């Protein structure tokens, strides 16, 4: 309350000072205007009287002069007129003039002396009057002077009126401004502070989940952001501690960001860490005249950022943002995250030709369809391969420059864009620990054998000390491919490959999501949320299905649409009540196969809709644009089922994101058997996406499944995702890399002669 009074008093004082200043200026301007008006009136009247009075003054006809003075002396605001001859004697004067004007005032003498009009404010008796003197001439000789006396009461009244009005305005303005300030302070400061205090109190006293939203508004936005981060960190730490305590009773342990940071610090022991990826974790883009920092939607960023933030490493990536060059230093580096810098982001610049050949060409028209057995023919061009080699070499040189003056660095290489990179680094820095994680599937040896440069790719990859895939099946395929294509020694018992006295271990690391904690605010909103989403889409319905994908030929989107069509054919009772929403993000749109696929999907959706739709309903809503996590989350939460129908996928995190979003343990996941996720999420309805009938039946089963069974299945899948989260993935990867022996000699236990027997297929690996 004291602060409020001080604020209001300060505002009142400032307003008063401003009003007084402007009133003073207004008064001075008004006095100047009215004085000029008096001068103009006096000058006009004087000029009109001069013609009649000047001859009479020269002849000394005082009686005639007095008659004229009496006639004009009673004009508005005119107090009187006095006429003097050339010797300064009064010739005539109005009766109401004071006696001391019998002697000509100084301004009359000056007028006769200079021959110029003159006016001024002078005190006459107890009043201030305005006197205006004009010289009188007859036949070009000075005849005398005329003095006109005006009352100034009107000027004083006008000035007093201005002061009075402005004082009233001051009081009224101060009252309204004070009330407004009081309300603004209460709404914008006192109330948000009280809410924040209650929020903090709820967290401190541990009275359940923190449901109060942080205070809103521009004034508190920075404080609210920091408070939100603090509360989130505390909540996550408490939740992680509670869950870890529960799991410890079962001899298990939950991985959290805090645990991952401590784990990495322990293993690294101050050694530098480097991450190599094509995609950067922060992109700077120009929005009008401003530069914005954008975080791309990427599980890779979620997984690797806690590691780098814990040890202050360096992330090397392709600088793809249109404002990326404007924010880096002379070494092409910038500290990130922007709000709390913890590590370095070094950007590597690629020409348009390099990006076209290395990324869009060899990586995405060659390796991508080659590794995803989705019946799309890979395209291999020699010029694309040359760019792929050149870009891998460019990244290697940039990394080696960063490795100068470092010892025993750790390097985490990400994905199929950098198959040659590990060998390039290892040849120059054998002391480096290099791990390569392959985020996409690895096909069988026959399929991969069509690549003209398969030996070079395998040789480059085997420069790594550790190679990771999502599932054991892909590890088996990789080692079989190495076995057939290269001269090497394969140890199927320990899953290692030795080439040129360098040992590489191959292991599965199933990637996952962070699995955020449930938000109580959303637990009871699904029914209303579903209606809201359908209403915004202009649809009436009862059941909602969702799919979230990049528009890619490996995602089985056409097969998905055909299954929905067959489902509505077989079960017409769902026509008009079941709607499927596909959130499709355009991808690689200047590659012909992707443009053709987009056109095909739009055509299929339109055909199916035309067949079944009604005035207020249509079966498929195809939203073809990029959607943020915030936009996708409501669809996950409200959906009765999620369709993941990939024709081939390393893992597919959409399946896990859907599970992570189902706070109320509702909904059913329909999952392709050709995804890595199908090996972990056993309670999903696993389908063959090429089997339209099976997928149609799975949709029916998902909608008609008993609610108790739905909850039981979803609960088990949520527990699996929670346990095997992204932090565990990163922790396992770093732990495995730390156990690698950097030696040209094979480690103990691998000295048995090479056996070409078939690889061991672990249980559940397909």
Residues 241-276 have pLDDT tens digits of: 665 555 554 445 788 877 888 888 899 888 999 999
Report residue 255 CA to chain centroid gap: 28
**Cα 24 to Cα 11, 15, 27, 130, 166, distances in angstroms:** 20, 14, 5, 21, 10
Q: How confident is the model over 711-730, as a mean pLDDT?
A: 92
Work out the pLDDT band at 738, boundaries 50, 70, 90: very high
Q: How confident is the model over 659-679, as a mean pLDDT?
A: 94
Residue that wins the pLDDT comparison between 240 and 167: 167
In the block, tokens 């998902």 appear at 702
List pLDDT tens digits, range 425-436. Answer: 999 999 999 999
Residue that wins the pLDDT comparison between 417 and 154: 417
Most trustworthy range by pLDDT among 38-52, 74-88, 372-386, 453-467: 453-467
For residue 549, is pLDDT > 70?
yes
For 381, residues 6+ apart whose C-beta sits below 8 A from its C-beta are: 357, 361, 362, 366
Least trusted range by pLDDT, from 16-20, 299-303, 489-493, 754-758: 754-758
Work out the pLDDT band at 297, boundaries 50, 70, 90: low
Q: How confident is the model over 154-167, as a mean pLDDT?
A: 82
Q: Which helix (H) or strand (E) holds 208?
A: none
Backbone angles phi, psi at 412, to 5 degrees: -110, 110
For 704, residues 6+ apart whose C-beta sits below 8 A from its C-beta are: none
Q: How confident is the model over 350-369, as a mean pLDDT?
A: 95
Work out the pLDDT band at 394, boundaries 50, 70, 90: very high
For residue 74, is pLDDT > 60?
yes
For residue 765, is pLDDT > 50?
no
For residue 288, is pLDDT > 90?
no
For residue 578, is pLDDT > 90?
yes
- DSSP-derived 3-state class of residue 126: coil
**What does the chain come to in residues?**
766
Q: How confident is the model over 149-164, as a mean pLDDT?
A: 82
List pLDDT tens digits, range 175-223. Answer: 777 778 777 777 766 667 777 677 666 655 554 444 445 555 555 566 6
Q: How confident is the model over 572-587, as a mean pLDDT?
A: 94
For residue 757, is pLDDT > 50?
no
Q: How confident is the model over 442-454, as a mean pLDDT?
A: 96
Residue that wins the pLDDT comparison between 761 and 721: 721
Query: What is the pLDDT, as a whole number, of residue 30?
Result: 81
Work out the pLDDT band at 412, boundaries 50, 70, 90: very high
Tell me the HSE value of 614 on the side-chain side, using a 13 A CA sphere: 11
C-alpha angle 498/370/557, rounded to 5°? 135
Work out the pLDDT band at 747, boundaries 50, 70, 90: very low
DSSP secondary structure letters along 472-492: HHHHHHHHHHHHHHS--EEET
Query: What is the pLDDT, as a whole number, of residue 205?
Result: 58
**Cα 343 to Cα 232, 608, 682, distances in angstroms:** 21, 50, 38
- Percentage with pLDDT > 70 across the chain: 85
- Percentage with pLDDT > 90 across the chain: 48
Q: Measured between alpha carbons, how far is 318 from 12 in angstroms, rounded to an integer?
A: 57
What domains are defined for the chain? 2-157 (3.30.450.20), 269-348+388-508 (3.40.50.2000), 525-724 (3.40.50.2000)
Work out the pLDDT band at 752, boundaries 50, 70, 90: very low
- Phi-psi region at 77: left, alpha or beta (left = phi > 0; alpha = psi -120 to 50): left
Query: What is the pLDDT, as a whole number, of residue 210?
Result: 45
Query: What is the pLDDT, as a whole number, of residue 218?
Result: 55
Structure tokens at 344: 């370095």
Q: How confident is the model over 115-135, as a mean pLDDT?
A: 82
Q: Measured between alpha carbons, how far is 237 from 262 in angstroms, rounded to an integer?
A: 13
Tell me whether residue 26 is exposed, middle or buried, using C-beta atoms within 10 angstroms of its C-beta: 0 to 12, 13 to 18, 19 or more.
middle
Work out the pLDDT band at 385, boundaries 50, 70, 90: very high
In the block, tokens 């329909």 appear at 670
Least trusted range by pLDDT, from 210-214, 225-229, 328-332, 732-736: 210-214
Q: Measured between alpha carbons, how far is 143 from 714 in angstroms, rounded to an integer?
A: 117
For residue 294, is pLDDT > 90?
no
pTM beyond 0.85, yes or no: no
How far the first Cα of the chain sits from its last, in Å, is: 70
Query: What is the pLDDT, as a whole number, of residue 295?
Result: 79
């Amino acid at each position: 309350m004291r602060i409020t009074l001080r604020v209001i008093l300060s505002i009142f004082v400032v307003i008063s000072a401003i009003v007084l200043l402007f009133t003073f200026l207004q008064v001075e301007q008004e006095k100047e205007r009215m004085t000029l008006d008096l001068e103009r009136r006096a000058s006009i009247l004087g000029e009109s009287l001069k013609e009649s009075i000047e001859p009479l003054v020269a002849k000394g006809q005082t009686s005639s002069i007095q008659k004229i003075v009496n006639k004009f002396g009673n004009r508005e605001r005119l107090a009187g007129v006095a006429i003097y001859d050339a010797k300064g004697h009064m010739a005539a004067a109005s009766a109401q003039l004071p006696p001391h004007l019998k002697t000509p005032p100084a301004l009359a003498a000056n007028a006769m002396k200079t021959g110029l009009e003159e006016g001024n404010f002078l005190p006459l008796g107890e009043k201030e009057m305005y006197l205006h003197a004009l010289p009188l001439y007859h036949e070009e000789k000075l005849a005398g002077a005329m003095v006109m006396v005006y009352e100034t009461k009107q000027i004083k009244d006008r000035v007093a009126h201005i002061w009075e009005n402005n004082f009233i305005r001051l009081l009224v303005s101060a009252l309204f401004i004070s009330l407004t300030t009081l309300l603004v302070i209460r709404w914008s400061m006192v109330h948000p502070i009280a809410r924040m205090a209650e929020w903090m109190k709820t967290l401190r006293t541990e009275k359940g989940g923190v449901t109060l939203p942080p205070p809103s508004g521009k004034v508190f936005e920075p404080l609210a952001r920091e408070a939100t981060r603090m509360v989130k960190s505390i909540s996550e730490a408490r939740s992680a501690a509670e869950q870890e305590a529960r799991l410890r009773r079962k001899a298990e342990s939950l991985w959290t960001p805090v645990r991952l940071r401590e784990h990495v610090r322990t293993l690294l022991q101050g050694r530098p860490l480097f991450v190599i990826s094509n995609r950067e974790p922060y992109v700077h883009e120009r929005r009008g005249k401003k530069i914005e920092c954008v975080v791309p939607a990427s599980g890779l960023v979620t997984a690797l950022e806690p590691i780098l933030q814990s040890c202050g490493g360096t992330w090397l990536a392709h600088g793809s943002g249109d404002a990326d060059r404007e924010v880096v230093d002379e070494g092409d580096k910038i500290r990130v995250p922007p709000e709390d810098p913890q590590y370095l982001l070094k950007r590597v610049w690629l020409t348009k030709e390099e990006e076209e050949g290395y990324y869009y060409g060899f990586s995405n028209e060659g390796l991508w369809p080659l590794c995803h057995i989705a019946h799309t023919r890979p395209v291999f061009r020699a010029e694309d391969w040359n760019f792929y080699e050149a870009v891998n070499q460019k990244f290697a040189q940039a990394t080696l420059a960063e490795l100068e003056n470092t010892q025993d660095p750790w390097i985490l290489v990400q994905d199929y864009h950098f198959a040659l990179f590990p060998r390039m680094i290892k040849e120059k820095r054998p002391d480096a620990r290099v791990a390569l994680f392959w985020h996409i599937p690895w096909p069988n040896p026959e399929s991969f054998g069509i690549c003209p440069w398969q030996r070079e790719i395998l040789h480059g990859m085997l420069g790594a000390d550790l190679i990771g895939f999502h599932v054991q099946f892909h590890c088996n395929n990789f080692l079989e491919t190495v076995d057939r294509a290269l001269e090497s020694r394969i140890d199927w018992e320990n899953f290692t490959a030795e080439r040129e006295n360098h040992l590489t271990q191959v292991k599965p690391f199933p990637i996952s999501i962070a699995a955020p904690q449930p938000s109580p605010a959303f637990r009871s909103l699904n029914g209303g949320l579903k209606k809201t989403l359908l209403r915004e889409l202009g649809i009436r319905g009862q059941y909602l299905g969702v799919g979230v994908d990049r528009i890619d030929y490996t995602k089985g989107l056409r097969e998905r649409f055909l299954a929905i069509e067959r489902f509505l054919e077989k079960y017409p009772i769902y026509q008009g009540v079941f709607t499927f929403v596909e959130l499709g993000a355009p991808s690689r749109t200047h590659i012909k196969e992707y443009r053709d696929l987009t056109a095909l999907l739009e055509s299929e959706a339109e055909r199916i809709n035309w067949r079944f739709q009604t005035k207020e309903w249509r079966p498929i809503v195809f939203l073809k644009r990029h959607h943020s996590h915030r936009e996708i989350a409501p669809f996950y939460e409200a959906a009765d089922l999620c369709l993941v129908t990939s024709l081939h996928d390393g893992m597919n995190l959409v399946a896990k994101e859907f599970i992570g979003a189902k706070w109320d343990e509702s909904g059913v996941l329909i999952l392709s058997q050709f995804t890595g996720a199908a090996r972990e999420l056993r309670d999903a309805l696993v389908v063959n996406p090429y089997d339209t009938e099976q997928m149609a039946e799975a949709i029916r089963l998902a909608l008609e499944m008993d609610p108790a069974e739905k909850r039981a299945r979803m609960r088990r899948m949520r527990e699996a995702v929670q346990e095997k989260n992204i932090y565990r993935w990163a922790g396992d990867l770093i732990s495995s890399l730390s156990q690698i022996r950097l030696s040209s000699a094979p480690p103990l236990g691998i000295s048995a002669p090479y056996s070409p027997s078939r690889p061991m297929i672990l249980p559940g690996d397909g």
